[in-house]
């Protein structure tokens, strides 16, 4: 009758996207801000953008980081550190 048919198992458990990949995607959405940091300045940030940067920074680099919301240098350094973390 011929050879028996091989049964191919399809793996259905697709691995979950890592938190690193999610945070990197969120950071890429903030391109207008991190591209300006590469040029040496930071555009004014609204509260929502600051919260996103804080969230990503805490998850990826330092959980105890508490910036002063009025300190643009704090956010400039945070974005610079995230650029180094995600792209280098």
User: What residue ranges do the domains of the chain occupy?
Assistant: 19-87
Q: What pLDDT is stored for residue 7 in this prediction? A: 61
Give the residue-averaged pLDDT of 1-9: 61
d(Cα 21, Cα 36) in Å, to the nearest integer? 22
pLDDT score, position 66: 92
Q: Please report the pLDDT score of residue 36 as a whole number.
A: 84
Percent of the chain predicted with pLDDT > 70: 82
> HSE on the CB side for 73, CA within 13 Å?
0
Q: Is 82's pLDDT higher than 70?
A: yes
Lowest-confidence segment of 34-43, 51-60, 76-85 by average pLDDT:
34-43
């Amino acid at each position: 009758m011929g050879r028996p048919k091989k049964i191919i198992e399809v793996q259905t458990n697709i691995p979950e996207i890592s938190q690193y990949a999610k945070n990197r995607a969120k950071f890429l959405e903030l391109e207008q801000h991190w591209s300006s940091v590469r040029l040496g300045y930071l555009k004014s940030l609204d509260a929502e953008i600051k919260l996103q940067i804080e969230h990503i920074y805490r998850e990826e680099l330092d959980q105890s980081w508490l910036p002063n919301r009025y300190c643009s240098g704090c956010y400039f350094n945070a974005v610079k550190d995230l650029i180094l973390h995600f792209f280098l």
